[in-house]
Amino acid sequence: MARYPLLVTGSLLWLSGLVATVVNSTIYTIGGTAYYWTPKYTPGYQNADNNYSVYILKTSNSFLRALDLSKPVDFGAEFSDTADVISELPFEIPHVKLGAVWADQNKIYYWGGELEVEPVYMNGAFQNKTREWPDPMKYYTYDLSQPKGSGEWQTVSISMARGSDVLTVSPSFGSYTYSAEARKAFYLGGMFRRNELNNTDGSNATRAGIEPYYVGSMVVYDAVQNVWDNDTIATAMELNDVVDGAMVYVAGVGEKGILVRIGGIYTNGDLLSFDTVYVYDIAANIWHRQPTTSKTNIFPESRWGGFCAGAIAASDKTSFTIYIYGGYAHGQKKGTWALTMPYFQWIPVGSSGEPELGHSSTTCQVVGGTLVMVRGRGVWIHRGDTNGGSYFYDMTNLTWSFKYQPSEYQVPKTISDVIGGNGQGHATITGPTDDKSFAEGLGRLFTAAAANATRSTGSGSTGYSKGGSSNSTGAIAGGVVGGVAGLAIIWAGIWVLMGTHKGPPAPNYQEGWLARQEIDSVPIQIPVHELDNTVVQGGTHQ
């Protein structure tokens, strides 16, 4: 794109730690860290950590990019580093990683995250200015109706006069999503780090700042009321000491949809098992702890590091499926898995054509019948993806590809063989076979979803993703990671995983980790109202 001829002097290798949302069939990404190949003489270069003949420039990602999937795309044939750039983030807006982005009524909302310590490289040069930390009482918007390349960002202060809570931290390493049904955005847990920014010349910031701590709440933004709540519900569960992972929005279940929280890492360094997921009923403000099963008793390998997750519904809504791929735990993960609901069983599914190296620090959206993995990175820092890091997973045929073709979803035979029915749905399994309490709790929501779909007319195939909703109705989806993190973030913040001490450390601190609350299969015992079998009533605000 001619407007941005001086992004950097070399070619783009990776974008990691970014966040994403989807409007209709266009995916928007922002934030995180950019890795460029660069000649040795470029200021700020470093050697690749596994190939000293390759030179890498790491910088904050300053661009809002768009991937238009309203028509076929073939990234195996051609790819441009700059063709998808629609806006350059002003320097005055903090350049962050692992924040949250969502879209409501054709407007991008950008909030949270932690300051990216890599230098800001804009307009072909380092920006030798003092940078500001993200202010949790401010968010930033971009109207998508503005002309491409010339739109302006707006800074908006959160008004307590309208009833919003005081937000004291800008979290990162949490999980976020957006519900178009409820018109609400959610950011769950994570941690707070405020790096001490001594530099004024555009070089790296230092990490010797305020000692980090972990966030045991869920920030909820209500777009209808324009109100921000800091909900302490997360402190009532095992989730109050978990970072990273994915939180997927599933429309059509319950009055306002549900959130499904999976994976991640405890603050003592232990990884969460995939034998349990957490389901949030948005309308009722209730969390459920839901055990999962596997026919072979083999579950997806535990992981964190910004793995891919997106949800899709059968056309008759008798079944819903969450697909996952990638992430990090002792290396980038490969292989694709599906969690079929309301059976809540994990099924390994086809992974032909997947990235050679596996991917972490990515974000995924569902468009039609396709799970779109956007950016991220592999293990070898000097080997970027020739297609810009975007891959397309056909959720009907269970294959990865560089090519995208608009399609509608049908339940693959691999899944219908387990739950009954066919490509259009008609699943015969209505819940976990060994969970007698399911029918009285979550089961009611899924039963109502199928009944509502039966009463509806023209209820075609619908796709959902992290922070998203139905594409067919032009609704909106947001990514993870997830506030999520990848290998670049792991090496930059590997200390997050180390130690078994009492408090969370930063470099040069000797305190260690918060203790993990043990998970078992019995109902959660907490000093708040508790419903039968793993159901927790929503909490208060702080």
Q: State mean pLDDT over 482-511.
A: 32
Residue 307 has pLDDT above 60, yes or no: yes
Query: Residue for token digits 């270069």?
Result: 45
CA atoms within a 13 Å half-sphere pointing along the CA-CB vector of 255? 5
In a domain, 1, yes or no: no
- Other CB atoms within a 10 A radius of the CB of residue 266 amount to 20
Q: Rounded to an integer, what distance in angstroms lies between the CA atom of residue 292 and that of residue 276?
A: 5
Q: How confident is the model at residue 41 (pLDDT cuts 50, 70, 90)?
A: low
| Lowest-pLDDT choice from 64-73, 81-90, 313-322, 396-405 | 81-90
* Residues 263-281, mean pLDDT to the nearest whole number: 91
Residue 61 located in a structural domain: yes
CB contact at 8 A, 32 and 18: yes
Structure confidence at residue 153 as a pLDDT band (50, 70, 90): very high
- Does 5 reside within a domain? no
Check residue 185 and give its pLDDT. Answer: 96
CA distances from 48 to 8, 55, 122, 357, 494 (A): 17, 6, 22, 17, 18
Residue 3 lies in a domain: no
Confidence (pLDDT) at 462: 40
Residue 4: pLDDT over 60: no
Are 82 and 65 in contact by the 8 Å Cβ rule? The answer is no
Q: Is the pLDDT of residue 505 over 60?
A: no
pLDDT higher than threshold 70 for residue 203: no
**Predicted local confidence at residue 81, as pLDDT:** 65
Tens-place pLDDT, residues 219-257: 999 999 999 999 876 555 678 778 889 999 999 999 999
Compute how many other C-beta atoms are within 10 angstroms of the C-beta atom of residue 162: 11
> Quick check: 509 pLDDT over 80?
no
Out of 83-97, 295-309, 427-441, 502-516, give the one with best mean pLDDT: 295-309
Of 80, 45, 98, which Cα lies nearest the Cα of 490?
98
Tell me what pLDDT residue 386 has.
73
Distances (CA, A) of 91 to 3, 63, 94, 170, 474: 17, 11, 7, 18, 32
Q: Look up the domain containing 114 and give its range.
A: 12-537
Residue 342: asked if its preceding bond is cis (omega within 30°), the reply is yes
The whole-number average pLDDT for the span 116-122 is: 80
Per-residue pLDDT, 206: 55
Which stretch of 115-129, 486-500, 508-522 has the lowest confidence by average pLDDT?
A: 508-522
How many structural domains are present in the chain?
1
**Per-residue confidence (pLDDT) for residue 170, from 0 to 100:** 92
CATH number of the domain residue 114 falls in: 2.120.10.80
- Residues 214 and 430 sit within 8 Å (Cβ to Cβ): no
Strand 345-349 relative to strand 293-294: parallel, antiparallel, unpaired? parallel
Look up tokens 């009954």; give the residue: 420
Residue 21 domain flag: yes
Other residues' Cβ atoms within 10 Å of the Cβ of residue 129: 12
Q: What single letter denotes the amino acid at residue 149?
A: G
Highest mean pLDDT pick, 7-11, 89-93, 471-475: 89-93
Predicted pLDDT of residue 315: 94
Residue 118, pLDDT score? 82
In a domain? residue 348 = yes
pLDDT tops 50 at residue 179:
yes
Distance CA 370, CA 403 (A): 11
* pLDDT the model gives residue 215: 85
**Segment 142-146 mean pLDDT:** 93
Alpha helices in 348-441 (DSSP H): 413-419
Q: How confident is the model at residue 13 (pLDDT cuts 50, 70, 90)?
A: confident
Assigned domain for 4 exists: no
Closest-CA residue to 97 (of 193, 210, 196): 193
Task: Give the lowest-confidence range in 84-88, 308-312, 329-333, 468-472.
Answer: 468-472
Does the residue 2 lie in any domain? Answer: no
